[in-house]
Amino acid sequence: MKVLVIGGGGREHALVWKIAQSPLVDKIWCAPGNPGIAQLAECVDIAVDDLDGLLAFAQKTGIDLTVVGPELPLTLGIVDRFREAGLDIFGPTKAAAQLEGSKGFSKDLMARYNIPTAAYRRFDNHADAVAYIREQGAPIVVKADGLAAGKGVIVAMDVETAVRAVDDIMLDKVFGAAGAEVVIEEFMDGEEASFFAFTDGRNILPLASSQDHKRVFDNDEGLNTGGMGAYSPAPVVTDALHDEIVETIVRPTIAGMAADGHPYSGILYVGLMIKDGRPRVVEYNARFGDPEAQPLLARMKEDIVPILQACARGNLTRTSLEWHDKAAVCVVMASGGYPGSYEKGHPISGLEEAAKLDDLVVFHAGTAEKDGKIVNVGGRVLGVTGLGPDVASAIRKAYEGVAKISWQDVHFRRDIGAKALKRKG
């Protein structure tokens, strides 16, 4: 069969890498792809938001299954377009993708169906939002309602920081149209985890547990990013907690979306805050997490293609997945200055040396080829993913790979997976 993967980041490289292992697949295309993906698939220069171009390519090429990586084409309605043309596509419709595309939409859904989350208020008026912050006090969380590339959430430990965040979002429009409305939430402390489930709109198939590291610096300091590293399994999610997440969060979410007339199919990502053994929802995403996809897909024993097809066609019957016993850890190597401004075009050395290591995969994200060399062109550049019999071994393997790779001003956290070791110890 012929498969098209849409996107060009680390998540899409991991998806292509996993799909390429399927005996069902004859050829993979990726739009637009990256140099790492190009080793496994044919990259085509079509932007992820060019829905007309993507549909025309899929029809011309005879694509049997399209897999959407990033959130933007989902919120623009790519799934609706492909389905109208009679094509199988993995991902939620435009209406269902509001679960990620609008923080207010998702918070209202949780309120309607008693899904545990932080108390909140929505505001489309700047003065009202500021008055509410001053009334509530800090710590408090300010979120741009729309898509902001994972950077539209400000955890404010004092009132003035929260007010500045509202100013930035609503007055200075730092996130553009995504900031037309803000959601202001109660601050939740605890330990974060990421939970994923495949779904066809009715049935669900949970994945293994994982944990992301959102802050740019060690010890969870600095600005929020798209994610600086992840590992799986996450010891914070015990078997009992896994079942509670499924029954109190995932099932009510899928059932609620269906009841509201927006049946949700694809992959559901639930960002969680866990305190005293109880989970609450921080956010939903309408796609695989990046970088959580890298360690999760590295650990998945199953052929992913039949699962993707079943979700797309509405006939998911599987209730469990097989996982490799090994743990996996992904360390993101980023451009210096990320998530702020950074220089592009620095040649990356050591990729061939890292590729020689056993139990290590280097997933490309923000890379390009220039004059025969691989260079950095994005904030998050590589996802160096190590496998091992336990998390400690996987951490060592990932950082062994990181040590082989360098470019000017490269930045990475040195404590990815440390929370798992503390919990185990």
Are residues 144 and 219 both part of a single domain? no
Are residues 195 and 288 both part of a single domain? yes
Name the DSSP class of 330: E
State the Cα–Cα distance between residues 425 and 124, nearest whole angstrom: 47
What number is the average pLDDT over the span 369-396?
97
User: Does residue 364 belong to any structural domain of this protein?
Assistant: yes
User: Does residue 320 belong to any structural domain of this protein?
Assistant: no
Are residues 356 and 290 both part of a single domain? no
Q: Rounded to 5, what percent of the chain is helix, strand, coil?
A: 35, 30, 40
Counted domains in the chain:
4
Q: What are phi and psi of 10, to 5 degrees?
A: -65, -40
Q: Report the CATH number at residue 366.
A: 3.90.600.10
State the Cα–Cα distance between residues 7 and 97, nearest whole angstrom: 17
User: Does residue 100 belong to any structural domain of this protein?
Assistant: no
User: Does residue 119 belong to any structural domain of this protein?
Assistant: no
User: Does residue 409 belong to any structural domain of this protein?
Assistant: yes
The 10 Å Cβ neighbour count of residue 371 is: 7
Domain around 203: 191-313
21-54 confidence digits (pLDDT tens): 999 999 999 999 999 999 999 999 999 999 999 9
Angle between helices 126-136 and 159-166 (to 10 degrees): 170
Amino acid code (one letter) for 173: K
Are residues 56 and 131 both part of a single domain? no
pLDDT interval class at 425 (50, 70, 90): very low
Are residues 197 and 305 both part of a single domain? yes
Q: Report the CATH number at residue 30.
A: 3.40.50.20
Are residues 176 and 221 both part of a single domain? no
Sign of CA pseudo-dihedral 179, 183, 188, 192: negative
pLDDT of residue 422: 85
State the Cα–Cα distance between residues 125 and 104, nearest whole angstrom: 14
Lookup result for tokens 């990320």: 338
- Model pTM? 0.95
List beta partners, residue 2: 27
Are residues 366 and 283 both part of a single domain? no
What number is the average pLDDT over the span 127-133?
97
256-307 confidence digits (pLDDT tens): 999 999 999 999 999 999 999 999 999 999 999 999 999 999 999 999 999 9
CB 342 within 8 Å of CB 305: no
Strands 278-285 and 380-388, sheet pairing: unpaired
Are residues 209 and 272 both part of a single domain? yes
Q: Which of 152, 180, 208 is the last residue of a domain?
A: 180
User: Does residue 84 belong to any structural domain of this protein?
Assistant: yes
